[in-house]
Structure 1
Amino acid sequence: MMTPAATALGIHLRVLVEDAASSAAQVVVDAPVGAASDADAIRRLVEGADALTFEHEHVPNDLLDRLAADGVAVRPGAHALVHAQDKAVMRRRLGELGVPCPAWAAVATPDELTDFLAGTGGVGVVKTTRGGYDGKGVRVVRAAADVADWLAAAADGTGAALIVEEKVPFTRELAVLVARRPGGEVRTWPVVESVQRDGVCAEVVAPAPDLHPATRDAALDIAVRVAEGLDVTGVLAVELFEVADEDGGAPRVLVNELAMRPHNSGHWTIDGAVTSQFEQHLRAVLDLPLGDTAPRATWTVMANVLGSALDDPTDAVAQVAASDPAAKVHLYGKEVRPGRKLGHVNVSGDDLADVRARAAAATALLRGEPDPTGEADPA
């Protein structure tokens, strides 16, 4: 998804892919195959490059430090990226920055976990400090026995270390995307609402509807504070819990997760903002002036295509186009598997209910479900 922006800006992309059939390899000409943990493959990747950046966080920090020492512009740098790689490191640093977060603790034994649960109403959320994503590496627990396998794996070194957090009584999830250049220029996009289903983002509404102005300002301030405090270069996604105020005031927000890369919560920007997160990330890591982040429409809804009954969702693209010519389909070229994120649809307009319904209808067609409108051309 970074390729169209790179082409328009005259930027050559080289991407390290896990296999030649991956989504990136289908659209990037210069796509050597290799693992993100392979030092030799990454050194070959960066030969002659102006900057090295990432589409996931699972890259060895010591390797990135060595590349930076050799003069490679690693963006974000390893000192920043570690906060997206390790949840314990992230929580400690956000606490130092005064950023509001859920109550948490590092836990290594059943007794430590039991003690924490006793102070949070008997329920908590245990997370692996590394490697988790899209609901993986996260369990809601009421007793240490619920994660006995994780505790044992962490103890013998075969699994990641663990943290536990309070189970936040949030009313909804929000997200803020922020971009930052090496010189310090920062831009944010509007605060969005992220709707999760089975631990995976299913829908994003931009901007977040019925958002209190004070809550909006707090969320934007937190995103900028995190980007600056962690010395982030590129796009940063700050995922937030919105929590009702007990006294009836503006809802407050707590930081849930961080991602130092273009993020699913920002896919709406491809069609819904003056500058997409992908173009902005390129601008930021190459230290170019950042683009305008204003929305192009009153509302934009991004709906994910999570699994499909079709062997190939592209078979339904003509049906979507006939049903809703303004719907923007983005498919990732991935093999169909149950629940797998295969693509997304962006729909913009002035009526939120209509926009959400149209995005859901288009996604249903790509999932091989009946068109709710009944208007698609069977041909």
Structure 2
Amino acid sequence: MDTRTGLPVVGMVGGGQLARMTHQAAISLGQSLRVLSESPDDSAALVAADVRIGSHTDLPALRDFAKGVEALTFDHEHVPTAHIEALEAEGVKVYPGSKALVFAQDKGMMRERLAAMGVPAPRWRRVTTKDEISDFAGGAWPVVAKSTRGGYDGKGVWMLNTPADAEALLATGTPLIVEERVTLRRELAALVARSPFGQVAAYPVVETVQRDGICVEVLAPAPGLDEALAIDAQQLAIDLANTLGVVGLLAVELFETADGVVVNELAMRPHNSGHWTIEGARTSQFEQHLRAVLDYPMGATSLTAPAVVMANVLGGEPGGISLDERLHHLFASDPGARVHLYGKQLRPGRKIGHVTVLGDDMTSVRARAARAARWLQEGV
């Protein structure tokens, strides 16, 4: 509890852009967000008042960080499970808890749990040899290989086209699962929040557009999505949150197929597929996550406009006019575009921010968002 305000202190492990945007949400609630950051130059460390420098893999640092917080939460899933269990045993309120978070940390355990629940998912297998991968493929190459832990933004995911590809990957020693390559219509995401009391709130199902393994666009609501399928996807996310005991945000990444939806990945934190909610929903995913971990009643999740598009801004090649000058031009040409920059050093392909555009027509809104993101990336 903050002795100055009488309001809770939430600790967030990780100092990236998710912590930065959660800090912004905490301000309006009067709450204090304490951030554990690896570097004073991390996104959240540049703006938050209560920053502790330390590693998420250092249990003593985590213990010290957790002193005095009402709840401990995360902006990534990379904290060792054993460390989370140790904190819980010492009485720290950790949300999501270790028994839930492990299914977002370990893809093999996730697939096993989903199978036990009867949740639609791609055919998969744990593998350690080239023959096991070839047997799984059965001649139907390519197959998708995933590292069981640590992947994000396309990292830790490989498309294997031949047994030779499999052999080269296995030589790295990375623990792997393989999955069938799903024939899909598009990718969707269902975002829900759940409190310790068990209250849940579901956002409209969105379409996510990937390029080179990185999400480049989110369309809210998913255009042309059958209402019954949308409800099924929301109910699936709610059921997963309840069954797994998730507290906070749960993002369920989905493949839409001819037969319905199948689960691709789970994330138990604010998620890239929910950045649009800052302007596009009555309650942002970041405020909702804080409400959830503090066991506050959930906020409204309805859209603020008929069409909302979020486009990620990636770092471009060096040169050209400055990012500040690009902002000047963008705001002059499209005053309605909302820009969120993360305070990151520019690097080609790195997520440095996002742009959100709202309107009445998805086609025109999408074009505006894409143009804004391209201009900030390339200056053209």
Smaller-chain TM-score bracket: over 0.9
**Aligned-pair distance for 1:109?**
1.2
Structure 2 Cα separation of the partners of residues 147 and 11 of structure 1: 49
Secondary structure in 1 matching 2:45: helix
Structure 2 counterpart SS, 1:326: coil
Most deviating of 31-40 and 304-313: 304-313
> Normalization by structure 1: what TM-score?
0.92
Contact 2:326 2:379 in 1 (8 A): no
CA contact (8 A) 1:314 1:366 kept: no
Which whole-Å deviations, capped at 9, do the CAs of 1:222-281 have from their partners, x for residues lacking one?
111111111100001100000124xxxxxx000001111000000000000000000000
Aligned amino acid, residue 23 of structure 1: S
TM-score, with length taken from structure 2: 0.92
1:83 pairs, out of 81, 97, 103, with 103
Which residue in the other structure is 2:150 paired with? Answer: 131
Let me know the Cα RMSD of the aligned residues.
1.3
Q: Which runs of 4+ in 1 moved over 3 A?
A: 309-312
The Cα offsets for residues 90-110 of structure 1, whole Å up to 9 and x where unpaired, read as: 000011111100001111111
Shift of 1:318: 1.8
Q: Report the secondary structure of 1:28's partner residue.
A: coil
Structure 1 runs not aligned, ≥5 long:
246-251, 371-379
Q: Structure 1: which amino acid aligns with 2:375?
A: L
Q: What residue in structure 1 maps to residue 308 of structure 2?
A: 300
Out of 137, 152, 175, the position equivalent to 2:171 is: 152
What is the alpha-carbon distance in structure 2 between the residues aligned to residue 210 and residue 272 of structure 1?
Answer: 18
Task: Say if 2:337 and 2:369, in contact at 8 Å, map to a contact too.
Answer: yes
* CA distance in 1: counterparts of 2:141 and 2:317, whole angstroms: 40
Q: Is the 8 A contact 1:310 1:367 kept in 2?
A: no
Partner of 2:190: 176
Q: 1:52, 1:303 → 2: CA distance?
A: 30
1:248 counterpart residue number: none
Corresponding letter in the other structure for 1:297: A
CA change 1:289–1:310 in 2 (3 A) is farther
1:321 to 331, 334, 337: 331
- Matches of 2:371 and 2:143 in 1, distance apart? 36
Distance 1:173 1:318 in 2: 34
Match of 2:289 in 1: 281
Is the 2:133–2:166 Cα contact (8 Å) retained in structure 1?
no
Aligned residue in 1 for 2:371: 361
Q: Which moved more, 1:278-287 or 1:359-368?
A: 359-368
The structure that is strand-richer by fraction is: 2
Matched, 1:57 2:84: no
Task: Give the number of aligned pairs.
Answer: 358
Tell me the equivalent position of 1:373.
none
Letter in 2 for 1:344: H
CA–CA distance in structure 2, aligned partners of residues 137 and 306 of structure 1: 19
SS of residue paired to 1:24:
coil
- Map of 1:228 onto structure 2: 242
- Is the partner of 2:71 in helix, strand or coil? coil
2:278 corresponds to which of 270, 278, 285: 270
Identity %: 56
Q: Using the TM superposition, give the Cα deviation of residue 309 of structure 1 relative to its aligned residue in structure 2, in angstroms.
A: 4.1
